[in-house]
Amino acid sequence: MSHVWDPSQYLTYADERGRPFFDLVGRVRADAPERVVDLGCGPGNLTTSLAVRWPDASVVGVDSSAEMIAAAPTGAGVTFVVGDLRDWARDAEPVDVLVSNATLQWVDGHLDLLPDLAAAVKPGGWLAFQVPGNFAEPSHTIRTELAADERFAPHLAGVAVPSSHDPADYQRRLAGLGFVVDAWETTYLHVLHGPDAVFEWVSGTGARPTLQALPDDGTRATFTQEFRRRLRAAYPPEEAGVLLPFRRVFVVAQKAPEVSG
């Protein structure tokens, strides 16, 4: 079931969404890469920082959403293209740095995609990605519970739902592909504001396909009203704001260099 991303909604919490990206790429030790690719670049606001860090590199941002690519900045030293990362991985010329930020969780069976991504990295090059790991939190379990409700379930069969694995799963898979792997997890504590702050967060990412799949005949409004109510109860406003714990899983891996002679 297809859905359409909204760049403005996604960027509502741009600072909070951007922090994991910088924590990720900060561990990439590439000195002077020639080709850098950001798979699932979204609106490109973070991809441009790669061109700043490596100004002599050819930097490309790839995203399957035409709406996201249309919102990407121009004249920032980055080429942005619409494309499916699975197709890109199969057909790519090897790159020096391959980054994917909060994207692989949308690819079913993405552990099985890692060999293709690994093959797209030059010997001595770097693969870096991060995915959410918070799917046991109320921000996701409430959506799952509501999606199973008989009022909504008939409309949500096959709707896209994100998922990911633990750091050790990624470490084992990439180590077996000839990479030296640094894998870890971090739980951020985001401080959001407004009684429906968590709904605004999830409606721009994990819950968006669900909301779009519901018909606009009152069904979506009923779902949204109940979703908002339950999220408010799970994440009540506190003195500092609404506290959203958010676990993320990180992987930075360097491919073994070619052995000469």
Q: What are phi and psi of 148, to 5 degrees?
A: -85, -10
Question: Mean pLDDT over residues 34-52, rounded?
Answer: 94
Q: Considering the chain, what percentage of its residues have pLDDT values greater than 70?
A: 93
Q: What is the rounded average pLDDT of the residues 209-229?
A: 95
pLDDT of amino acid 1: 44
Lowest mean pLDDT among 126-135, 201-210, 228-237: 201-210
Mean pLDDT across the chain: 92
Tens of pLDDT, residues 221-233: 999 999 999 999 9
Check whether 43 has a pLDDT greater than 50.
yes
Task: State percent of the chain over pLDDT 90.
Answer: 82
CA–CA gap between residue 255 and residue 124 (Å, rounded): 5
Locate the DSSP E strands across the chain: 35-39, 58-63, 78-82, 95-101, 121-132, 179-192, 242-255
Predicted pLDDT at 10: 46
- pLDDT tens-digit series, residues 144-175: 999 999 999 999 998 999 999 999 999 999 99
Residue 100 pLDDT class (50, 70, 90 cuts): very high
User: pLDDT at residue 5 above 50?
Assistant: no
Q: What is the pLDDT of residue 29?
A: 97
Pairwise pLDDT comparison (91 vs 9), residue with the higher score: 91
Domains in the chain: ranges and CATH = 7-255 (3.40.50.150)
The pLDDT assigned to 46 comes to 92
pTM of the model: 0.92
Q: What is the pLDDT of residues 111-128, one digit of tens each?
A: 999 999 999 999 999 999
pLDDT score of 33 more than 50: yes
In 3D space, the residue among 146, 143, 145, 148 whose CA is nearest the CA of residue 162 turns out to be 143
pLDDT at position 194: 85
What's the CA gap between 231 and 244, in Å, rounded? 11
pLDDT band, residue 12 (cuts 50/70/90): low
Residue 8 has pLDDT above 60, yes or no: no
Structure tokens at 26: 């900060």
Question: pLDDT tens-digit profile of 52-86?
Answer: 999 999 999 999 999 989 999 988 789 999 999 99
Single-letter residue type at 103:
T
